[in-house]
Structure 1
Amino acid sequence: MVYRIALNQTRRGADADDVVQAVFLKLYEKPPEWLGRAAAAEQADGGRSLRGSCSAAPNAATDERLRAWLIRVTVNECRNLWRTLWHRRVELREVGDADTPPYEEPAFSEPAHEQLYAALGELPEKCRIVVHLFYFEDMGTREIAAVLGIKEPTVRTRLVRARKLLKQTLKEAWDDEQCQPLQSHDGRGPCLC
């Protein structure tokens, strides 16, 4: 999950690797306080409290908090990476990667899916992260809002804008018939896969 988000944000495998390393280094060197308390509570009673049938919720709650923390730190590390690159004024042409596609490994094999994946990569960062979390990490708008620290209506607005941008971008590449919004498998909106 962390690597997928990092790759989605940075669009380069090497940068995504750097972000993943930074995220897990932060988790190792300075874990969140609530994570330490949950581990200490589990050790204190020999792990019985988090394994019992009645107390599966604390473990699930800790897992969800950890997931949200990892997503938030990943997004922040991606932003830090871009700030650093901006200050150094590194451009792809200077590095020599100008001829390579933005994603090193396409997630889709069909040409139409590759076009969709490229269009997703062209979305503004704010829209791209919301689309990624909604469709690829299967998070709800409320969860996304909590993780990103924005309001839920803002998440919905960004999803609508992203869908419009994708439709405009893909309409040029695909036949009008193919570009009609499809219902997703779970009924949550247009299918992006």
Structure 2
Amino acid sequence: MDSGELEEIIDEHGAHLLKMAYFYLRDREMAKDIVQDVFFSFYDSSNYEEQGKLRAYLTRLTVNRCKDHLRSWSFRNLLFSNEWIETIQKQQDPLILNEEKTDIAIAIMKLPIKYREIIIFYYYEEYKIREIATLLGLSENTVKARMVKARKLLKIDLQADYWEVLSIE
């Protein structure tokens, strides 16, 4: 692969991967670092074969890198506060503003990661339950159970008018 092909791939998939990494990490700069690392790894290795969709492959790489980061020692030593929510509201972060409802995005960001990823893949990325299960290495029943729990958690956090958006399947 030459650098021109890589640039095309970055142009086509970069924004999607950045958004996915941000939803996992809740840190824009770290999301950029993860996505950059994914593209470097993709460029350096020849593990990808045209067996499936490149977008799904790159998404899986990004999700795995994000999870590795979340499990890392350095991440566990960071103390998070609710200041990031206020920052999003004050600065109007473009990654969140692109979504239909800022309040829904903030509520989703508060979910534990195992529920957040299911909601993001299902509602924002429009993956089917089977695709989510494959992507995350889970059974379809586990994905469905997490979806039910995530919806319950969101229903508690969201007002009735916002809840209508997520209750429609």
| 1:10-56 CA distance string (max 9 Å, x none) | 111101101101111111111325x2xx4xxxxxxxxxxxxxxxxxx
- How far apart are the structure 2 equivalents of 1:99 and 1:147? 32
Higher-helix-fraction structure: 2
CA spacing shift, 1:81–1:17, aligned 2, 3 Å? same
* Equivalence for 1:104: 93
* Equivalence for 1:190: 168
* Equivalence for 1:181: 164
* Larger RCO, structures 1/2 (Cα 8 Å, 6+ apart): 1
- How far apart are the structure 2 equivalents of 1:105 and 1:91? 24
Count of aligned residue pairs for this structure pair: 150
Deviation at 1:104, TM superposition (A): 3.5
* Equivalence for 1:55: none
Q: 2:45 aligns with which of 10, 26, 30?
A: 30
| 1:125-151 CA distance string (max 9 Å, x none) | 011111111111111000111111100
CA spacing shift, 1:138–1:179, aligned 2, 3 Å? closer
- How far apart are the structure 1 equivalents of 2:58 and 2:98? 29
One-letter code of the match for 1:190? I
* Equivalence for 2:75: 86
Indicate conservation of the 8 Å contact 1:92/1:98, yes or no: no
Structure 2 unpaired stretches of 5+: 1-15
- TM-score, structure 1 normalization: 0.66
Structure 1 unpaired stretches of 5+: 39-60
* Equivalence for 2:12: none
- How far apart are the structure 2 equivalents of 1:98 and 1:147? 28
Q: Which has the larger radius of gyration?
A: 1
- How far apart are the structure 2 equivalents of 1:179 and 1:3? 25
C-alpha root-mean-square deviation of aligned residues, in Å?
2.9
